[in-house]
Amino acid sequence: MKPFVALLFLFFQLSTNNVPQADIVDDLALHFKTGNTKEIAKNFAPTVDLIIIDQEDVYSKVQAEQILKDFFAKNVPLRSSVVHRLSNNPNYRYGIISLHTRNQKFRVNITLMKKLPNTYLITELRIEQDKQ
């Protein structure tokens, strides 16, 4: 009986450790949908290459959050969806999000680099008008 219980316990441990966790790109798409700059900024690297339409520069985490907050004040989000993602490299993530606002549609490109195990930080965020 003990080997059976041990085998059952081992099976349970293996099955719970392999449960896929939500992808960071999915989380960010949700935060863009709600315009939640605080949650987006939690994923910023200490400096972020931020490109919003025709405004481009490298900003601190705090500055980038404020600029993103201003963007959402002018462009109230309605919905968002993940268009494309790269997640096959363990040290790098990339996502493209389609963001629909009251004013227009945007394409959001997000580049994330691995900082710690299972932690990715946004190093570049690009928001462009969607031409489609």
Q: What is the pLDDT of residues 70-107, one digit of tens each?
A: 999 999 999 999 999 998 888 999 999 999 999 899 99
Cα–Cα distances in angstroms (integers) from residue 128 to residues 91, 92, 97, 99, 104, in the given order? 25, 22, 11, 10, 11
Please give the Cα distance from 111 to 84 (Å, whole number).
12
- Which pLDDT tens digit goes with each residue over 24-77? 999 999 999 999 999 999 999 999 999 999 899 999 999 999 999 999 999 999
CB burial string 74-83: b at 16+ within 10 A, e below = ebebeebebe
Q: What is the model's pTM?
A: 0.80
- Which pLDDT tens digit goes with each residue over 111-124? 999 887 778 999 99
